[in-house]
Structure 1
Amino acid sequence: MLLNCTNLVAQIFPPTSYPQGYFRDPLDIPMRLAGNFGELRPNHYHMGFDIKTNARENLPVYAAADGYVGRIKIEPFGFGRAIYVVHPNGFTTVYAHLNAFNPALEKWVKDQQYQQESWKVFLELPANLFPVKKGDFLANSGNTGGSQAPHVHFEVRRTNGDVNLNPFLFGFPVDDAVPPQLQRLAVYDRTVSVYEQSPRLFPVRAISGSTYMPTPSVITVTSPVVSFAIGAYDTQTGSTNHNGIFESTLLVDEQPVVAFRMDNISYNDTRDLNAHIDYKTKFQGGPFLQFLTELPGYANAIYRRNKGNGAIDVSDGAVHTVSIVVKDAIGNTSTLNFKIQYSGTDPERPAPAGKKFYPQMMDGFESADCEFYIGERCLYDSVHIRYNKSANTNTEVVSSIHTIGAPYIPLRDSFLIRLQPTRPLTDAERSRTVMQWFVGTKKEVQKVQWQGNWASARFRDFGSFQLVVDTEPPVIVPIGFTDGSNMSKAVRIAFTVKDNLEEFKKVRVLLDGKWLRFTNDKGKTFLYSFDEKCMGGQHELKIHAEDEAGNVTEKTYNFTR
């Protein structure tokens, strides 16, 4: 059965060819992975390798092949500090979460930051400025940006179109003789939205080698149309990390129906992970479940169809054989086999509350003081969107609380919300009004646009929304210094910014009237390490902080260096 399945899967995914041995390992230690391409992460696919650095920082990172430094990115989250190397064979490699770049590159980047008066930069470099040879030193490894522990995030992209490719396809030296591990099977009723049900979950067990079977092996369903999802992970020889699987194919009655493969994904589409997983189950604290069906709103999907989208008609009542074949990028394979049969009894269900919205259609809801509009690219599956209005007693809140949809329904694009305040606002209040989204303890604010008495903003999640007049400026908190400090023995200046709505928009620092570069890695502490920009003597440090509502705080500190 397994050999037959493997041959049938090849009908969906034809062979591909990528240069082998062209790229070297960017580190000088054995390549061990903390994360791989296509691994499931909150709201995105993981888009490369996370290469372990033995829990250390400042390991040398080398160019994977000849080329030139084409881009530099520095940001508080995401990549942190990253280098993009463009290669003559049509590919680009990316190295992220770095510490210091090589000295020449570090100096050039610093000069650019001072010219732009911005620590956060995304720089395009000409081909002749920083050419590199394979094995040239690029930077030291680190833990900057969205990294949670020291490692190097490494990507291979197709330069034309900037599409990420699975680095495993290029033959990097990762020892892997371990097939993917299957954990569970999920079965869905496809006569209703995936967001208006909870799947039936079945544990699976290995029965021989890498062949698995659920309990029970024959599954009886009450829906005439069903689909499936799996819980699975991959790992490598000698590793305990649960990494992502590369490929899975659904076969029904020995015919391939649909499959997905983690071989190339654009950053424009990485949020579509939310259409590949059972987002509701994961949001509610359950496991990652990967659909073996393509939802109707999933554009540019990782799926390939052979006979339909993965929703299986079992209304004939016959016993159907099902196989789910799971592979890693090396070719190690596991298979889940079971049977499924419709019982002929489709239970009645109460109609869900709310208005039904559909993918690839624009529609809206309007009431006296709340309107929202969901665009064509917002939804992955049809679903009823509930609306509820409740009173608010907070004096800073100038609208009712408007709850739209459920937070376990994912959105690909932002949707438009328009609210009216519950009382007339002065011009000063309108200029300081923000719309706040909240779910549980999570919050986000956006500055509103006014059209008459309607305040509008866009958000990318369902939840509760309200208008807040924010007149409280952010607070600047110096760390280890005060006005008049003698800092001759200090090695750096540090401060933080706090805001009552937990978000600030802009921070700018001047030293003796000139812009001074403070880093803000992970959006926490602002840091400046003393260098040639601050020599000995008396100095004036002026810190300007602004929040989303436009409230401004300025503090001036005099110090001696």
Structure 2
Amino acid sequence: MRRILSLLLLFSSFTLCAQEIPCSPLKVPQSFAGSYGELRRDHFHTGLDWRVGGVVGDTIYAIKSGYISRLSVSTGGYGNAVYITHPDGTLSLYGHMHDFVPEFAALVKEEQYASERFQVSLEFEPGQLPVECGEAIGRVGNTGYSVAPHLHLEVRDLATQTPLNYLARGYYKVVDDIPPVFQRLFFFGYCDTLALPIRYPLRTSNHPTSLSGTTVRLPHKSYLGIDAIDRQNGTTGKLAVVEYLVMLDRDTVFRFEVGEIHPKQGCYLSALREQSVGGDDVIKTLLDPNNLLSEHIYAHERGLLVLNDYEEHDLKVRISDEHGNCSTISFKVRRDDYLESSLSSVAAALANQEDFQRIPMLWYMPHVFTDEGVSYTLPAASLYDSGWFPYAKVAEADSSLNILSSVWKLGDPSLPLHSNGELFLESPLSDSLHSKACLAFYQDGVLSYAGGKWDGKGVRGNVGFGTWCVTTDTTPPAISFWERKGHILRAGDEILIYLEDDFSGIKDYRVEIDGKWHLSMFKRGRISLRLDPERISRGSKHTIVVKAKDNCGNSTVVSRDFFF
């Protein structure tokens, strides 16, 4: 009987948990600096960034009951982060935290010293670290890839790993009666009568609402670039537009609905963004064939505005946010086959067809380019659409500039890639420099580190389109302390160490005190070392040793004595 009662209580408890309504992770007014679906450099934002007034320290609470399934610490990404698995089949993630509650912090610190690494990830089984809804788990911070204190809250469906939009689902309420804002509207021509289709700019409206009531002349086929953001009451954050709609007369030409996007789809954002005009907020209506976001998109005629006659037509562009606020621009369009921008762009494309220094690339095929001392290989489906591959040797090697191979321009940098290609450049380097060799991006005589390793007769690495050469990095990192007159200064128990590398960047570092590894954090050129009185005795002299290595294997070791 007791066993049956226990099972009934367990089932009842699970049912209550499964129906649990999430609470707020913070005890501050709900306001967001970033929302679900916001456009980032190469992905959609998949959570809610909670504002905290620009300061660290607010307590973070578990939004539902469950168990801690992971604690992670990193200098990038989410920084200090807690992952909670819930009985309803979801996982909540709390990112950029300042610190964890003492129980979790002790577990993390133990693992850091055991592995002698700052960056760690600890995973736990059900029952090890249970947590209740509303229980404190840490404090708001600014760790990882974060530019200001905030809480990144993300909820995922465990079965599919799809991030869920808890604001659109109504779990969190904010006052929002502000419609999205049109920032710019771009018009592009599209010509598909040549060997490969060409796209070209027609005009830009920096004040899109001024188009209302006007007539815009367009070629036979064209498409739009829509630059828009959303606003909410009480925040200056640039938030997500969740639906883009374009209608020609009464027919839908293009609709993109953010919905809830799996990361494997979200990484195709570059296929949706119009790269040629710069900025992160420009969505194009043209659907590329290798765009796996297509299930979120309706695109008649691939999203092209096709004008088959010379009459005026009504064009409507509407943007919406997750609370139903909308902004709409309506104007007329008319076909004009004699637009100067169209004629000049097509004429230039025809003239370039005979240019032997470019070759066609089909998006669904692998692409291999070889010439004297160079090879570049793109896997199939690296492109979002077919296009031209321009190439040229732009300069010879020049040892006085540390350019140690021919300089090659490969591809069009404005053409987005889903994955980089493999580049090999030959270089007549002496054996002693092989370990120091790397690829470099070349622009206006300036070299920037681009990775790669020596491989036989040259350097091999993965890069995108651009201008490239081989170079070397033989200069070790520079290490310096915050000190005065040879004495290390401290801010309380914290020592600051500055770590710089002039080219390839810091790959690894290590801090030891009296011969033993000591916990420290390296971020943005600075090591923060907080002295731990449990591991270092007070009132005596100690020796600190800092070791650093860059990405080309150059290393530096600096030692200092200090009193604690």
**TM range, normalised to the smaller chain?**
0.7 to 0.9
* 2:243 counterpart (230, 240, 247): 247
More helix by proportion, 1 or 2?
A: 2
* 1:496 counterpart (460, 474, 498): 498
Which residue number in structure 1 is paired with residue 310 of structure 2? Answer: 317
Q: Structure 1 stretches (4+) deviating beyond 4 angstroms?
A: 192-196, 203-206, 438-442, 485-490
Residue 292 to residue 306, structure 1, CA distance change in 2 (3 Å): closer
Which residue number in structure 2 is paired with residue 510 of structure 1? Answer: 512
Considering Cα pairs closer than 8 Å and 6+ residues apart, tell me whether 1 or 2 has the greater RCO: 1
Contact 1:71 / 1:85 at 8 angstroms: preserved in 2?
A: yes
| Residue 374 in structure 1 maps to residue 387 in structure 2 | no
| Residue 231 in structure 1 maps to residue 263 in structure 2 | no
Looking at structure 2, the residues matched to 202 and 194 of structure 1 have their Cα atoms a distance apart, in angstroms, of 24
Contact 2:268 / 2:291 at 8 angstroms: preserved in 1?
A: yes
* 1:403 counterpart (396, 409, 416): 409
The structure with more radius of gyration: 2
Looking at structure 2, the residues matched to 298 and 259 of structure 1 have their Cα atoms a distance apart, in angstroms, of 14
| Residue 471 in structure 1 maps to residue 474 in structure 2 | yes
SS of residue in 2 equivalent to 1:105: helix
1:125 positional shift: 2.2
Which residue type is aligned with residue 382 of structure 1? S
Which residue number in structure 1 is paired with residue 138 of structure 2? Answer: 139
Alignment of 1:147-296 (within 5 A): 147-171=146-170, 172-191=172-191, 197-203=200-206, 214=211, 217-222=214-219, 224-282=220-278, 288-296=281-289
Which residue type is aligned with residue 347 of structure 2? R
Contact 2:212 / 2:331 at 8 angstroms: preserved in 1?
A: no
Residue 466 to residue 405, structure 1, CA distance change in 2 (3 Å): same
Looking at structure 1, the residues matched to 47 and 197 of structure 2 have their Cα atoms a distance apart, in angstroms, of 29
Contact 1:488 / 1:560 at 8 angstroms: preserved in 2?
A: no
| Residue 545 in structure 1 maps to residue 548 in structure 2 | yes
Looking at structure 2, the residues matched to 88 and 256 of structure 1 have their Cα atoms a distance apart, in angstroms, of 42
Which residue type is aligned with residue 443 of structure 1? S
SS of residue in 1 equivalent to 2:543: strand
* 2:438 counterpart (418, 422, 434): 434
1:438 positional shift: 4.3
Deviations 1:130-183 (A, max 9, x none): 211111111111112221112112212222232222232231121112222223
SS of residue in 2 equivalent to 1:40: coil
1:118 positional shift: 1.1
Which residue number in structure 2 is paired with residue 534 of structure 1? Answer: 536
1:106 positional shift: 0.8
Looking at structure 1, the residues matched to 197 and 57 of structure 2 have their Cα atoms a distance apart, in angstroms, of 46
Looking at structure 2, the residues matched to 313 and 554 of structure 1 have their Cα atoms a distance apart, in angstroms, of 66
Contact 2:22 / 2:63 at 8 angstroms: preserved in 1?
A: yes
Report the number of matched residues.
527
1:52 positional shift: 0.8
Which residue type is aligned with residue 278 of structure 1? E
SS of residue in 2 equivalent to 1:238: coil
Contact 2:41 / 2:280 at 8 angstroms: preserved in 1?
A: no
1:308 positional shift: 4.0
Residue 216 to residue 197, structure 1, CA distance change in 2 (3 Å): farther
Contact 1:95 / 1:155 at 8 angstroms: preserved in 2?
A: yes
Looking at structure 2, the residues matched to 137 and 411 of structure 1 have their Cα atoms a distance apart, in angstroms, of 43
| Residue 416 in structure 1 maps to residue 422 in structure 2 | yes
Which residue type is aligned with residue 434 of structure 1? C
Residue 196 to residue 478, structure 1, CA distance change in 2 (3 Å): farther
1:448 positional shift: 1.3
Identity %: 25
1:76 positional shift: 1.5
Unaligned residue ranges in structure 2 (runs of 5+): 1-17
Looking at structure 1, the residues matched to 197 and 145 of structure 2 have their Cα atoms a distance apart, in angstroms, of 31
Which residue number in structure 2 is paired with residue 520 of structure 1? Answer: 522
Contact 1:203 / 1:214 at 8 angstroms: preserved in 2?
A: no
1:371 positional shift: 1.3
Which residue number in structure 2 is paired with residue 445 of structure 1? Answer: 450
TM-score where L is the length of structure 2: 0.86
Looking at structure 1, the residues matched to 86 and 197 of structure 2 have their Cα atoms a distance apart, in angstroms, of 43
TM-score where L is the length of structure 1: 0.86
Looking at structure 2, the residues matched to 371 and 260 of structure 1 have their Cα atoms a distance apart, in angstroms, of 38
Residue 329 to residue 480, structure 1, CA distance change in 2 (3 Å): same
Looking at structure 2, the residues matched to 75 and 394 of structure 1 have their Cα atoms a distance apart, in angstroms, of 39
1:63 positional shift: 0.8
Residue 436 to residue 205, structure 1, CA distance change in 2 (3 Å): closer
Deviations 1:168-204 (A, max 9, x none): 2231121112222223322222226898522422355
1:367 positional shift: 0.8
Which residue number in structure 2 is paired with residue 357 of structure 1? Answer: 361
Which residue type is aligned with residue 558 of structure 1? D
SS of residue in 2 equivalent to 1:241: coil
Contact 1:435 / 1:468 at 8 angstroms: preserved in 2?
A: yes
Which residue number in structure 2 is paired with residue 554 of structure 1? Answer: 557
Q: Please say which of residues 531-540 and 344-353 is displaced more in the overlay.
A: 344-353
1:290 positional shift: 1.2
